[in-house]
Structures are given as structure tokens and as C-alpha cells.
Amino acid sequence: MKPTRRSVLAGAGGLFVATAIPVIGRAQATRIKISTNMPPSHPVAVRLNEAAKSIAEASSGEVQLNIFPSSQLGSDTDVLSQIRSGAVEIQLISGGVLANLVPASLIYNTAFAFPKAEDAFAALDGDLGAFIRKETAKANIEMLPGIWNNGYRQISTSSVPIDEPADLAGMKFRVAPAPMLMSVFTAFGTSPTVVNIADTYTALQTKVVDGQENGLALFSALKFYEVQPYCAMTNHMWDGFLTLASRRFYEGMSDQNRALLLEHLQTAQNAQRQDVIELDASLEEELKGRGVTFTHPDPTKFQAALREAGYYAEWKEKLGEEGWAALEKYSGQLT
């Protein structure tokens, strides 16, 4: 029904009263900037926006989350500096990036540590997460409980399917510039080659490298399937995003608002974890339709090859006994 002039004026009057006249005694709104490098369509950003809406409703607008996807506030390392200075309140960041400041944070990237994503969730919700939070606190940063799911990394190749570690020997592999990841592919007998992700498609197409490793979402989004017809579901490394908060901001929140923030972020995080599990399952079927041949290698063979190459012993020494003990509580014995 078309609104009457009277109803429009009534609505305008109500809006004027609510926004132009301050309410005596009402607390000033707490505005929180949250940075993620994921695009708006990724489950991380989608669920963060849901959390922002639910927090605003639950707090009657007193707590307002502003989500900045796609690295809008700067690179991960730039935003990390802003977290430390208090210019940004919250950041989602991978342990591999945070490791430049907190070396222990990459421990959950240990290869073949978690057979199922649920094992990783249990570890990061439990003692392993507590250990990383303690180490992060030494850098004067708050790490909030839990972790967001970024899924497993898989191996793709241009020429042959991969069933065993020996199938990788002699290949040149594009890897991210992460020491733990590079040591995995060195142990498998490949030549790890750092290539910018933006240049990886061309490097694969021109055979500068023979293969690459990433999650299926990125494999699909960057159309690597056009130049990589084989994909081995190795699940060789699980990754996730830690939630960092500016200490000054976090300690300055009221107990009530802090509890509200944690509650709704946890709800969003739990939903996002399942989103990524379902997304990966659907992507495998979708990529088969695009001509990709999948193999599902026995992970114990790859883990044995890493153990024989001294990978686990090396990283146990680098990461320390305390963190390694927390990891093996969930992974089982690795060394």
C-alpha cells in the first residue's frame, strides 16, 4: 500500500528524534575494524558480516563491527603492525605470516599432523591453541580463542598423477615462501621454487614449474585446472586463520561487550568451519567436470617419507618441546 504523507512525516520525525537528539546516559558506540585477506564471497567474510549484524542487534547498536575483506586495510604484515599500534582492532591471519613475529604460531601447519579438520579444531580450541596464545601474548597482542578454517592444501601436476612420494622426485614445485612448507617438498625430492601467486598460472603453463600446492578453492578460482590436469588429495597441510586483537582495544572493552564479541565470533567461526568442509567436497566434483583427474594417496606413506628425511625432528627442535608436546597430544607421535 502506498504510504500517506502523514505516515512519511511520522517516520521522518521518528528518525530525526533517534539520530539528532542524544540519549542521556547512553554509552558511546564501540566501533571495531576487522581485517581479512579473504574476498567478500569467502565463508570467512560472509560469516563475519553475519556476526556484525547479530552483535549490533544484541547490543542495540552499542558494538559495531566493520568488516574489511580482500586486504583493504593493507597486506597481512601491514595490518599486523596496525594491530600492534592499535590502529586496527581485529585481524584474521595465518600462523605462517604471524610466525615472522611469533615463531611458534606456525606449529599447526606441521605436515600430516591432522588427519581430519576436526582434529585441528580440537587442537586449536584446546591446549595447542592455548600454547600459541601464550606465545602471542609475549608480543603484546591478544589472540582470541579458536581458529577459522582455511582447509587442506593439495598437490596438482601437469604430467603425471601422484600416488606416492616417489612420484614427486625431480619435479620443480611452486611453493609459498614459507620455510616449513619448503622443507616438506625438499624432503619429497622436489626442487621447491618460490613464485608469486599472481605469476603461478603462467609458470605452470610454460612449464617453468611442474606443479603447485594450494587449497581447492584457490586452485579453482585461479583456473589452474586449465594447465594442471592432475590433482592429488594429499591433505598434506591444514591451515586456518588466527584471530588477533589489539591489546589496548581488547583490554579497554567492558566485560559485557567482550563476552558478546567472543560469543558471536565463536558462532560465526563454527559455521564457517563447516562451510569450508562442504565447499571443498563440492569443488572436487566440480573440478572433475572440468577434466581434472583426482587421486587419493595414502597419507601414511608421505608421512613416513617425511619422518625418514628428518622433517619432524628438525621442526621439533625449532619449535621447542612445550609446543611439540601440545601438538602431539592431538596428532599422535610424529617424530
12, part of any domain: no
20, part of any domain: no
CATH of the domain at 214: 3.40.190.170
13, part of any domain: no
Question: Is 32's pLDDT higher than 50?
Answer: yes
Per-residue pLDDT tens digits for 47-89: 999 999 999 999 999 999 999 998 999 989 999 999 999 999 9
In degrees rounded to 5, what are phi and psi of residue 59? -100, 10
Query: Which domain covers residue 144, as residue numbers?
Result: 28-330
pTM here is 0.85
Per-residue pLDDT tens digits for 319-328: 999 999 999 9
243, part of any domain: yes
Indicate the number of domains in the chain: 1
What's the pLDDT score for residue 96? 86
Per-residue pLDDT tens digits for 228-253: 999 999 999 999 999 999 999 999 99
178, part of any domain: yes
Q: Using a pLDDT cut of 70, give the percent of the chain over it.
A: 92
95, part of any domain: yes
5, part of any domain: no
2, part of any domain: no
